[in-house]
Amino acid sequence: MRKAVWSLILVAAVLLTVTVIAEAQQPKKIHRIGYLSSETAAGESTRSEAIRLALRELGYIEGQNIAVEFRYGEGKLDRAPERLAELARLKVDIIVITGGEAWIREAQNATRTTPIVMTGTGSDPVEEGLIESLARPGGNVTGIANITKELGGKRLELLKQTIPKLAQVAVLYNPAAPGSVREVKKDLPEAARALGLTLRSWEIRPPDGFENVFAALNQQRPDGLYVTAGPQMGANRKRFAPLL
């Protein structure tokens, strides 16, 4: 009986050793991350590098156990379907979206099975119908949201603290972005009244929207400039510096 027991233990040990060796010889799966930015490669570099470093700290290293496929919309929403189709052909395991709700919707339209991670929207994702609730998103979308209803007023407050004589603020926004429209029409005016500020909103419409607005701002010279979030604004952020 004792010999039989030891024989079974020996067989089990041999089988376990063979299994471990076989698994070690098999190539490790490289998980593929699809990274779709609404901006340009240069405009997205700071955020993408931070994500790279965070993944590395968690043990996910490019070329070893993950591969990141970067695609850029360059501020043009009509490029989203093509970029998402490219990621689908690559069979990515997850899609990271750095853009507003319109880009997330495009991703949802492209796939209902691949997990989608949003890195921040200017609107409430529940109100926009992107997720079911903050506690239980449901579907294949999760991530974070920068809800401007709470943050917009704080930004104006910080601007007022920075410029004590602040009285007039120019607000630039994209009228095609629902979150920005609500921020400009509803959220910011309430905060501005409390701070004693006067807001003047300017719509940025392609293709020459920036040039027209910049020409008017150079003449009026407001005390401060508030730029709403969004791919169009992010892709052109360097153009705001001469106005400051």
Domains of the chain by start residue, with CATH? 31-144 (3.40.50.2300), 148-243 (3.40.50.2300)
Q: How many CB atoms lie within 10 A of CB 60?
A: 15
pLDDT at 124: 77
pLDDT at 151: 75
Q: Return the structure tokens found at 64.
A: 């070893």
- Mean predicted confidence (pLDDT) in 30-46: 86
**Percent of all residues in the chain with a pLDDT value above 90, rounded to a whole number:** 23
- Mean predicted confidence (pLDDT) in 32-45: 86
pLDDT band at 90 (very low <50, low <70, confident <90, very high): very high
In this predicted structure, the answer to whether residue 38 has a pLDDT above a threshold of 80 is yes
What is the tens place of the pLDDT at every residue in 108-125?
A: 999 999 999 988 766 778
pLDDT band at 14 (very low <50, low <70, confident <90, very high): very low
Measured distance CA(164)–CA(191) in Å, rounded: 16
In this predicted structure, the answer to whether residue 8 has a pLDDT above a threshold of 50 is no
**Nearest Cα residue to 79 out of 36, 19, 21, 142:** 36
Pick 141 or 28 by higher pLDDT.
141
Cα R_g (the chain), whole angstroms: 25
Question: CA dihedral in degrees (13, 17, 19, 24; nearest 10)?
Answer: 160
pLDDT at 69: 93
Predicted structure pTM score:
0.59
What is the tens place of the pLDDT at every residue in 229-238?
A: 776 676 666 7
What is the tens place of the pLDDT at every residue in 166-223?
A: 999 999 888 877 778 888 888 899 889 989 999 998 888 765 677 778 888 878 788 8
- Mean predicted confidence (pLDDT) in 28-35: 87
Sign of the C-alpha dihedral computed for residues 154, 128, 144 and 170 taken in this order: negative
Instruction: Name the average pLDDT for the chain.
Output: 79
pLDDT at 149: 62
- Between the CA of residue 11 and those of 22, 149, 161, what are the distances in Å? 16, 66, 75
In this predicted structure, the answer to whether residue 160 has a pLDDT above a threshold of 60 is yes
What is the tens place of the pLDDT at every residue in 50-61?
A: 888 888 888 998
pLDDT at 103: 86
